[in-house]
Amino acid sequence: MGKAKRRDFLWIVLFLIVFINGFEAGGYQASLWSIGKDFDLSMTSMGLYAAMELFATMLAPILLGRWADSVEKSKSIGIMLGIQIVAAILVLFTASDIVFLGGVFFLGLTTSALQFIAIAALADAYPVSGGRKVAYMTSMYATGALIAPQVVDLYLRQGLHWRTLFGILAAGSILCFAGILACGSKPREEKPAADAFSAGAGAFILPAILLLGVIMCIYVGFENGFTFFVDTLFTDVLKADTGKLALSLFWAVMIPSRLLVGRFSVHAKKILIISILAIPCAMLLLAASSNPTLVLCLCVPLGFASGAIYPSVLTLLLPLAGKRTATATGIITSATGIGGVVFTALTGFLSDRIGMQAAMLVLVSFFAISLICAIAVIRMDGKRTAASSRPEST
């Protein structure tokens, strides 16, 4: 066992997969303005180009959730990485807009699948420390999304094409593919007998999981609507060249936010409520301002509050999932795709009609629904905890 522990690097590979996913998201967001210019797209069309990937993100868990629970997770991760590599290479070497959209669709499909399967694999392989590791894993997504806009900005300034992003993605996916083949995904930790029994007896509480899905649908929908268009907001509306910096700043503050949620995961319920309330407050100020410096500064509280939602939802989710971790995380991931498709397309559509800041304000109003869902889930979880403690007292 000691030798196996010393050689264990599964968590590193899974963290890297999520980092690459974040890099893909941040890189595509930072490239959207250049893609729109290259393909001569309107705001509405840019929203639809962004939504194509997010539509695939929505479909992946619906199509692949049960399959991922029924096969060895290392095999499913390897298959998804293989498809991702092919899709990235296709986009890199073709000038056809149809092939581009097809490649982006499959990138969204595999990125989504890898996200929820990697989370499930981590929770299954590390039953003792998995909850904390999952919260930390979400910070890797934010780290990738933080770095990507600056990398995109760097190579664009050097005269390289925006398609360079997809070459970087292909190389990262190849590295992850080699890593997952080398280490597999079998359990690395064993729970004490009492914990193992209680974990096995856990019920799959669908209503609470669906409500968490609604929260993630609205949060990720808003996040995508904001991040895909923040560079355009600065360039076209605020007449400033700090859009990519704003995007990176938004993702940067997510990292300490998600690490703190991992550290204080016992307070995930309170953190979730505070975050849901903080996002509309920050967005009200941002939408009312025409000062690019103030808007840039407001990306800090907006990103910090946004960063806390995903790990808080996952912390609440895992005890509600029973043994069906891939199915539960798949439902959550599917909800994020639905939100991404609808809200991103809606942001582009509304921006052409009422202005970008007003469009973002419309989207953030949906957080009122998130607040209602969060309160309902917290009550359901309280009842679950009370019910599970009764047999032990008899």
Average pLDDT over residues 35-39: 85
Q: What is the DSSP string of 362-379?
A: HHHTTHHHHHHHHHHHHH
What's the distance, CA 391 to chain centroid?
38
Distance CA 116, CA 219 (A): 17
Distance CA 308, CA 262 (A): 9
Asked which of 130-139, 167-176, 372-381 is least confident by mean pLDDT, the reply is 130-139
203 within 8 A of 347, measured Cβ to Cβ: no
Tokens matching residue 74: 């290392």
Q: For position 196, what pLDDT does the model report?
A: 44
pLDDT at 389 over 80: no
Per residue in 160-187, pLDDT tens?
Answer: 999 999 999 999 999 999 999 888 667 7
pLDDT at 201 over 50: no
Average pLDDT over residues 212-224: 92
Domains along the sequence of the chain with CATH: 8-386 (1.20.1250.20)
Per residue in 291-327, pLDDT tens?
Answer: 999 999 999 999 999 999 988 998 888 788 777 777 7
